[in-house]
Amino acid sequence: MKKIIVLALALISFSVYSQKNKNADTMQVYIGKGMGGIIFNVSTEKEVAERFGPDYWPEEIIVNQYFDQKKKVNVVIYNFKMKYIKKGIIFNFTKEEGMPEKLTSIEIIPPFIVKTHEGIVLGQSTMQDVVKTYGYGTWGYSNKNKQVTKTYDGIVFYVSNNKKIKEFDKDYFNTTFLPLTVDKIVITSDPKAVYYIDKVK
């Protein structure tokens, strides 16, 4: 009898665990809006922590500093990151002293798996799938970060690249990178923003 009860509990636990994983796998990202109930320019650090948990690494970097002539005060603007390293998500906020923070972009890498509203799945879809879904878009690359991208308004798709790129060659990019699997997605509130890319063609 005890063995039956233990087995039943184990099956229930596995079912709940599987459902949680399924829910995580099917979380959708929305271009220019956000994901998982977290909304650009609306959701706060507290709301993100309530939704994704308290186990994140905070990072704050000064990105701009100037003197406001009208208010006669120094203004400091920060880029504040909530880094969920184990999950594979980074939430980027813009913060100004004395003002509420604004969520401006979300970076997603495996093991966190998401799907765009249009059907591109992180870690499964290729750059060719991206082009079929969104159109040709714009190529971008960064030798420093060893990444190649397809950029669109409000969303950027990444693949890894270990070979240094000396100059842009459209045919080489199409042949080499379109078959590769997307291993990072960045969604942003700014339709023209491009993250961690040195050159865009």
Tens digit of pLDDT for each residue in 16-57? 333 344 444 469 999 999 999 999 999 999 999 999 999 999
Predicted confidence (pLDDT) at residue 163 exceeds the cutoff of 90: yes
The confidence band for 128, taking pLDDT boundaries of 50, 70 and 90, is very high
Put the strands of the sheet holding 73-84 in their side by side order: 57-68, 73-84, 89-96, 102-108, 184-188, 155-160, 147-152, 138-142, 199-200
CB 158 within 8 A of CB 182: yes
Compute how many other C-beta atoms are within 10 angstroms of the C-beta atom of residue 106: 23
Greater confidence (190 vs 88) lies with: 88
Length of the chain: 201
Greater confidence (150 vs 199) lies with: 150
The confidence band for 83, taking pLDDT boundaries of 50, 70 and 90, is very high
pTM over 0.85: no
